[in-house]
Amino acid sequence: IYIARRLITKRVSAAMAADCFEDRTPPPPPRTETPAAVLRERGAGRPTKRERRLLEQLRGR
């Protein structure tokens, strides 16, 4: 949610433009669930395609 403090009619620098509006966006809700850390065994080598997909799913990507 942005509130315009002052209207401008021509292009201005970023610093001046930042003074012309106010950001009233509410902060995002805090994350309640943190995924468990996924650690691979040392020397396990490169993850397989299936393992990589599972890792990405756990990371939320």
Strands (E) in 1-61, as ranges, are 2-4, 21-23
> Domain segments of the chain: what residues?
2-27+34-59
pLDDT string in tens for the chain (61-residue length): 999 999 999 999 999 999 999 999 999 988 777 666 667 677 778 888 998 898 888 887 6
Question: Looking at residue 52, what is its pLDDT?
Answer: 87
Global pTM reads 0.41
* Structure token pair of residue 53: 């997909």
Compute the distance between CA of residue 49 and CA of residue 36 in angstroms, rounded to an integer: 20
Of the candidates 19, 17, 15, 55, the one whose C-alpha atom is nearest the C-alpha of residue 35 is 55
Question: Looking at residue 15, what is its pLDDT?
Answer: 92
